[in-house]
């Protein structure tokens, strides 16, 4: 993974285009190494857009979720999410927790939840939309 110097970080998130298309800045960034971006809450982060860079980053133990627990790290929201749970573990611990949770998310079980999830989502939308 290579990086290039960039004077000013780009404002992130980029404006959302109409429909499902990506913002033109993403198309440009997919051709370049990781870029510095400024998150909505004011802190800088690195945005990785290319497959090879993402694969290298995810394989690098310096960027493991477990190593980041208890440390400040780039995030989408102003408040850091506390560690713990499936999303903040790596390796054997992650696989053990995932195997336990996966039993509750078989296709059959998820299908049985479909109608209730729809009711909840529609209710939430009526309250906030």
Domain that residue 14 falls in = 1-81
58 and 2 in one domain? Answer: yes
Number of domains in the chain: 2
- The SS3 call for residue 22 is coil
pLDDT at 90: 81
Residues 64 and 116 in one domain: no
Higher pLDDT, 119 or 76: 119
Q: Are residues 73 and 95 in the same domain?
A: no
Q: Is the pLDDT of residue 127 over 70?
A: no
1 pLDDT higher than 70? no
Residue 61 has what pLDDT? 83
Are 71 and 113 in the same domain? no
pLDDT in tens, 44-79: 888 898 999 999 988 888 888 777 666 666 666 666
Are residues 55 and 13 part of one domain?
yes
87 secondary structure, DSSP code:
G
Q: Examine the fold and report which residue of 44, 63, 81 is the final residue of a domain before the chain moves on.
A: 81
Do 94 and 77 have their domain in common?
no
Work out the mean pLDDT of the chain and round it to a whole number.
79
* pLDDT tens readout for residues 14-29: 776 666 777 888 888 8
Same domain assignment for residues 111 and 73:
no
For residue 113, the model assigns a pLDDT of 93
- My answer on whether 70 and 119 are in the same domain is no
Phi-psi region of 20 (alpha: psi -120 to 50; beta: other; left: phi over 0): alpha
Same domain, 18 and 74: yes
Assess whether pLDDT exceeds 80 at residue 3: no
Query: In DSSP terms, which residues pair with 37 in a beta bridge?
Result: 10, 45
CA 18 to chain centre: 22
What pLDDT does residue 119 have? 92
């Amino acid at each position: 993974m290579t990086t290039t110097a960039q004077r000013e970080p780009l404002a992130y998130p980029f404006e959302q285009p109409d429909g499902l298309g990506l913002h033109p800045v993403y198309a440009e960034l997919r051709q370049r190494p990781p870029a510095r971006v400024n998150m909505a809450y004011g802190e800088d982060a690195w945005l990785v857009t290319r497959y090879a860079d993402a694969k290298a980053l995810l394989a690098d133990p310096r960027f493991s979720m477990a190593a980041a627990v208890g440390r400040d790290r780039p995030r989408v929201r102003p408040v850091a999410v506390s560690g713990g749970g499936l999303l903040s573990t790596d390796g054997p611990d992650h696989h053990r927790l995932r195997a336990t949770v996966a039993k509750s998310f078989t296709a059959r079980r998820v299908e049985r939840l479909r109608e209730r999830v729809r009711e909840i989502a529609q209710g939430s939308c009526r309250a906030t939309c």
